[in-house]
């Protein structure tokens, strides 16, 4: 069973879901508005929103006879927590690569100093 962080990343792997997700930071939007922005049917947006809600990436609140969707910080936190476990080894690998690159490009030095 995938962790919550993996579920969030899997949900965002789909380009349409990612486009829906990326449309929401500025303001809550209804399904119809999202459908126009993303260029798919309202039915398709609803299906994608269900996956995003299950991954805790979006939340919904009623607004009259429609539902408004907005970002859910829990899913972003889940994804961040998942990725952070790899951060120390990624930084170590970067430092090792940088050190290796510097060693390969360092000019040769004469043990006796500059000749002249």
Domain regions of the chain by residue span: 4-76
Tally of CB atoms within 10 A around 33? 17
Beta bridge partners of 60: 69
Residue of 55, 86, 92 lying closest to 71 (CA atoms):
55
Which class would CATH give 4-76?
mainly alpha
The C-alpha atoms of residue 3 and residue 11 are separated, in whole angstroms, by 12
Give per-residue pLDDT as tens, 30-46: 999 999 999 999 999 99
Structure confidence at residue 108 (pLDDT): 64
**Which residues have C-beta within 8 Å of that of residue 71, sequence separation ≥ 6?**
21, 24, 25, 57, 58, 59
Structure confidence at residue 57 (pLDDT): 97
Q: How confident is the model at residue 90 (pLDDT cuts 50, 70, 90)?
A: confident
Q: What is the mean pLDDT of the chain?
A: 90
Task: Give mean pLDDT, residues 101-108.
Answer: 81
Q: How confident is the model at residue 84 (pLDDT cuts 50, 70, 90)?
A: very high
- Provide long-range contacts, Cβ within 8 A and 24+ apart, for 110-114: none
- 32 or 106: which leads in pLDDT: 32
The model's pTM is 0.76
The C-alpha atoms of residue 18 and residue 20 are separated, in whole angstroms, by 5
């Amino acid at each position: 069973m995938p962790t919550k962080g993996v579920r969030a990343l899997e949900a965002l792997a789909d380009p349409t879901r990612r486009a829906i997700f990326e449309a929401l930071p500025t303001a809550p939007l209804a399904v119809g508005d999202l459908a126009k922005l993303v260029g798919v049917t309202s039915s398709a947006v609803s299906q994608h929103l269900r996956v995003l809600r299950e991954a805790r990436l979006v939340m919904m609140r009623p607004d009259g006879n429609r539902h408004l969707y907005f970002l859910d910080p829990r899913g972003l936190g889940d994804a961040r927590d998942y990725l952070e476990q790899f951060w120390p080894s990624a930084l170590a690998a970067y430092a090792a690569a940088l050190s290796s690159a510097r060693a390969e490009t360092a000019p040769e030095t004469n043990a006796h100093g500059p000749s002249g």
